[in-house]
Amino acid sequence: MQTFPRAARLRRAVVLLAVALLPLAACGDDTGPGADDISGSWTGTISSTAGSAQLAFAATQTGEQVTGTGTLSGGGESLALTLSGTVVESDVSLTFQSPGFEPVSFEGVLDEDTMTGTLSGSGFTGEELTLTRTR
């Protein structure tokens, strides 16, 4: 794992958060967004001791599988992300990835247009994240 100056660590944390959040928006079913469907556009703010970053992603869900793309923005920079994961009932597991960074995992619970959970990996150690779906 690479060592980065403070600004680079903040940027990295923002990117990782964005990666973790993308899979949440990628879930859905044939009936449209519902209690166990995260298809749609999601946004959230990741806050840590290194600063804050904005995560935005669009997700598509087929059955329990989720895929999508998004961005993590903070400190004047933006990082493109891909996401993949699963939604089983209201339990959401997503992985955000960006070239050159370790994957970030999001484990959370879906409640209609809100997803709440924690981030781990690539410098995250259980930071809480709340995502909101925009319609």
User: How do residues 67-115 score in pLDDT, each as one tens digit?
Assistant: 999 999 998 999 999 999 999 999 999 999 999 999 999 999 999 999 9
92, with CB counted inside 10 A (0-12, 13-18, 19+), is: buried
Q: Quick one: pLDDT at residue 66?
A: 97
- Average the pLDDT over 25-40 and give the result: 59
Distance (Å, whole) CA 51 – CA 86? 29
Percent of the chain past pLDDT 70, that is, above it, reads 74
Cα–Cα distance list, 47 to 43, 57, 74, 110 (Å): 13, 17, 11, 20
Q: Which three-class secondary structure state does DSSP give residue 81?
A: strand
Give me the architecture of the 6-134 domain, per CATH: Beta Barrel (2.40)
